[in-house]
Structure 1
């Protein structure tokens, strides 16, 4: 199979196949007649594995480690579980932070609903941002200067 055929069979882009080849995740042979890269059925299996691992949240570095462990003859499943636990914890922390930020943004929009438009005055660039009290802060608001 050539790059485009492999990509289509695996449901990824040709650029993805080329990138994974550049990283050494795929190691095609060469067609002796024209020098084109030739991928075997094993490459398709490996590419499908990589794509599936990526959709599960594993990084390419993770995938390289998993493949190296498997190629050494050792079962990578324990490492896979540990890595996924780490990825899940990091993802959950990111989700929690995004939810916290969404609440802060919601509070800011509510707070700003009745605030006047203020032009920059040398003291402030945008009073909405500069006067907004972030969680844990205690800041007095400053009024817009008279125009």
Structure 2
């Protein structure tokens, strides 16, 4: 028999409804996003998330590493939100492929880190691919209308 977890996080006889646990987790994630939007740090004074430009594909992403951040190595937990109604939150595990100085025509500046998605749901990968196609379609329409 599996032990139940009480609301205080300790093992006990009091069970938490699984639907309530899911609802509370979603509520906590929404509160985190609001705090991030208003740039409110956590209790330790650190913000767990930060906004940045990324180059995104169905297989991975590349983003600029800020000078003060620690070097990323190995596996990383990635969480980001794709725009939409409702927004699609992607959570996955990726493996860093290394860092390099930016020399191409992307919006990234300085040193960038490439991450390959390893543990990602197919629905999340499909949403990423659909989002990148939508962005490319909009960019092509802008180029055609300005030409």
TM-score of the superposition, structure 1-length normalised? Answer: 0.24
Bigger Rg, structure 1 or 2? 1
Q: Which has the higher contact order (CA 8 A, sep 6+)?
A: 2
Select the structure that is richer in helix: 1
State the TM-score, normalized to the length of structure 2. Answer: 0.24
